[in-house]
């Protein structure tokens, strides 16, 4: 059992590089340090990918979520690829997030905070350093910010850090432009792609819900009562990734010398929603003259389940930045350890500062989540409780294909909702690996995909993702659960 040594400021001298003195799990070695340094120098000279004001906006929205006044939908690819930086792929990914969020607004009757695993989700922790491809042992693919997908291109290359930056910039630029040009407008019903639903009854049930939600939003717009969530022409969307590669994150960590936050968000990507007007005091409290450090590679970053050691480099880096942060919480997390990680990452007890992304597996959640909820409740930390029903439910078929079952995913989500409710707590979000494309990587859902169908369009280089329809299925199922 871990001894709890409570110290709100375990290492007062934080700097963007203080992580370097700690043990770095999943570290990346480069053969040419001079080349690495010149790439990092280049990154340090480039503009931020997101604005500090936008990060502050997300902090306020996540504070709302921690109080149960908003629900977080965080989703996207397991690993983005450079080749998916195309207009079609970006539109598909954006479309599924927007559509799921609308279904969730309808079902949960609460504002949705959309956080995409996008615009920088390029680094992957892998369980094995090598893999066997066509009988040959090669280094594992670790995400395109580190090495290449092709088995012949698996050596680490620091130029990829700069390439990842420019691909992120290109994706975020297109997302901003789509969102400021009516892409989210519900008036385009052809965007709802329901022909893939096998069962006529389910299809007409979905169509009925979509018509009803389109009617309600139309009505809100007609009477001028729209909020940011119902005015689909100006919605909020934030970016996120696992901050695995601390070299990259450090180079994009920027100091905001105490200046007054501007009143406007300044970007069409983010418009403050009416729901956090009650949070103006919080804004003021954070606008002191102190220097603050922001990770400007994304609005939100998280620590993976494999790199969350209390004394490790990742926790050290994360504790010093202003961004709201996530921590993956798997079955190996001891409740005392959870309390200690919160004490380190959230020394000022800021509501919504930490999102706990639980990922146990459908059959393990009952033996872990209740103890984790009790542990957090014994503290003054106000977290966002999010459920990642994907990472604890990965299996391999008899043919050796990595997959996830839609039923296990739904089971973990519903168990999470029920455990929270039973314990007088509340689930505040979900975290999903999905794509807007019609891939065949997970089994089940209203397209009734079977293991034999997986080979039809299996595209992932990493974990299996829910496809467009399976993702919508999840949103409809959660919504129906709440509306019952």
The β-bridge relationship of strands 384-387 and 300-303 is unpaired
DSSP state of 133: E
Q: Work out whether 78 is an interface residue with Mn ion (CB under 5 A).
A: yes
Please report the sign of the dihedral spanned by the C-alpha atoms of residue 377, residue 383, residue 387, residue 391. Answer: negative
Q: How far is the CB of 329 from ligand PEP (least distance, A)?
A: 8
Q: Which does 237 bind (CB under 5 to 8 A by kind): ligand PEP, Mn ion, none?
A: none
Q: Which stretch binds ligand PEP (CB under 6 A): 100-108, 284-292, 299-307, 437-445?
A: 299-307
- Nearer to Mn ion by C-beta: 296 or 467? 467
Q: And the tokens for 347? A: 């020394």
Q: Is 272 annotated to bind ligand?
A: no
Assess contact for 176 and 237: CB atoms under 8 A: no
Q: Is 328 annotated to bind ligand?
A: yes
Q: Work out whether 298 is an interface residue with ligand PEP (CB under 6 A).
A: no
Greatest extent of the chain over all pairs of C-alpha atoms, in Å: 65
Q: Is 78 annotated to bind ligand?
A: yes
Q: How far apart are CA 342 and CA 349, in angstroms?
A: 9
Please report the sign of the dihedral spanned by the C-alpha atoms of residue 476, residue 478, residue 481, residue 484. Answer: negative
First to last CA, the chain: 42
Contact positions with ligand PEP (CB under 6 A) in 219-248: 242
Q: And the tokens for 196? A: 């893939």
Assess contact for 175 and 90: CB atoms under 8 A: yes
Q: Which stretch binds ligand PEP (CB under 6 A): 99-107, 174-182, 298-306, 348-356?
A: 298-306
Give whole-number Cα distances, 250 to 43, 239, 280, 347, in Å. Answer: 9, 17, 30, 21
Identified binder of ligand PEP from the candidate list 305, 337, 408, 473, rule CB under 6 A: 305
Q: Which does 77 bind (CB under 5 to 8 A by kind): ligand PEP, Mn ion, none?
A: none
Q: Work out whether 346 is an interface residue with ligand PEP (CB under 6 A).
A: no
Torsion of CA 245, 251, 252, 257, to 10 degrees: 140
Q: How far is the CB of 306 from ligand PEP (least distance, A)?
A: 6
- Nearer to Mn ion by C-beta: 337 or 463? 463
Which x/- pattern over 246-285 shows residues binding ligand PEP (rule: CB under 6 A)?
Answer: ----------------------------------------
Q: How far is the CB of 463 from Mn ion (least distance, A)?
A: 4
- Nearer to ligand PEP by C-beta: 250 or 305? 305
Q: Work out whether 80 is an interface residue with ligand PEP (CB under 6 A).
A: no
Q: How far apart are CA 113 and CA 66, in angstroms?
A: 12
Q: And the tokens for 328? A: 């993956």
Crossing angle of helices 87-108 and 468-483, in 10° steps, is 10
Identified binder of ligand PEP from the candidate list 59, 167, 256, 328, rule CB under 6 A: 328
Q: Work out whether 359 is an interface residue with ligand PEP (CB under 6 A).
A: yes
Q: How far apart are CA 440 and CA 467, in angstroms?
A: 7
**What is the total count of residues that contact Mn ion (CB under 5 A)?**
2
Q: Work out whether 391 is an interface residue with ligand PEP (CB under 6 A).
A: yes
Q: How far is the CB of 117 from ligand PEP (least distance, A)?
A: 8
Q: Which residues are annotated as a binding site for phosphoenolpyruvate?
A: 117, 328, 359
Residues found near ligand PEP in the complex (CB under 6 A):
78, 125, 242, 304-306, 328, 359, 391
């Amino acid at each position: 059992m871990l001894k709890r040594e409570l110290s709100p400021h375990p290492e007062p001298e934080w700097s963007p590089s203080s992580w370097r003195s700690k043990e770095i799990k999943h570290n990346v070695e480069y053969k040419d340090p001079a080349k690495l340094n010149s790439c990092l120098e280049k990154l340090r000279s480039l503009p931020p990918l997101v604005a500090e004001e936008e990060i502050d906006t997300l902090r306020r929205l996540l504070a709302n979520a921690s109080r149960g006044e908003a629900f977080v939908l965080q989703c996207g690819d397991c690993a983005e690829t450079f080749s998916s930086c195309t207009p079609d792929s970006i539109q598909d990914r954006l479309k599924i997030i927007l559509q799921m969020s609308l279904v969730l607004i309808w079902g949960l009757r609460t504002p949705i905070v959309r956080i995409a695993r996008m615009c920088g989700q390029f680094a992957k922790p892998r369980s094995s350093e090598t893999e066997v491809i066509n009988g040959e042992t090669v280094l594992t693919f670790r995400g395109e910010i580190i090495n290449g997908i092709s088995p012949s291109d698996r050596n680490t290359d620091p130029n990829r850090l700069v390439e990842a930056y420019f691909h992120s910039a290109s994706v975020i630029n297109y997302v901003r432009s789509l969102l400021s040009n009516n892409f989210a407008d519900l008036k385009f019903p052809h965007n709802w792609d329901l022909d893939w639903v096998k069962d006529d009854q389910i299809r007409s049930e979905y169509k009925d819900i979509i018509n009803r939600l389109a009617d309600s939003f139309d009505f809100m717009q007609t009477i001028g009562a729209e909020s940011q969530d119902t005015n689909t022409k100006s919605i909020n969307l934030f970016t996120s990734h696992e901050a695995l590669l601390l070299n990259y994150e450090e180079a994009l960590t920027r100091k905001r010398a105490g200046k007054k936050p501007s009143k406007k968000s300044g970007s069409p990507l983010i418009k403050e929603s009416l729901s956090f007007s009650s949070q103006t005091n919080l804004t003021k409290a954070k606008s002191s003259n102190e220097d603050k450090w922001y990770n400007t590679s994304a609005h939100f970053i998280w620590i993976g389940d494999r790199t969350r050691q209390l004394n490790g480099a990742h926790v050290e880096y994360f504790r010093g930045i202003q961004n709201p942060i996530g921590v993956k919480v798997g079955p190996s997390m001891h409740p005392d350890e959870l309390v200690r990680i919160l004490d380190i990452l959230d020394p000022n007890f800021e509501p919504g500062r930490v999102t706990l992304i639980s990922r146990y597996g459908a059959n393990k959640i009952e033996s872990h989540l209740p103890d984790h909820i009790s542990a957090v409740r014994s503290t003054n930390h106000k977290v966002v409780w999010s459920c990642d029903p994907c990472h604890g439910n990965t299996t391999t078929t008899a043919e050796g294909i990595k997959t996830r079952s839609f039923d296990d995913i739904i089971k973990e989500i519903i168990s999470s909702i029920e455990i929270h409710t039973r314990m007088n707590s509340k689930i505040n979000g979900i975290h999903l690996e999905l794509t807007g494309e019609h891939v065949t990587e997970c089994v089940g859902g209203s397209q009734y995909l079977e293991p034999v169908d997986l080979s039809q369009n299996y595209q992932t280089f990493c974990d299996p993702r829910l496809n467009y329809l399976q993702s919508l299925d999840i949103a409809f199922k959660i919504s129906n659960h709440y509306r019952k």
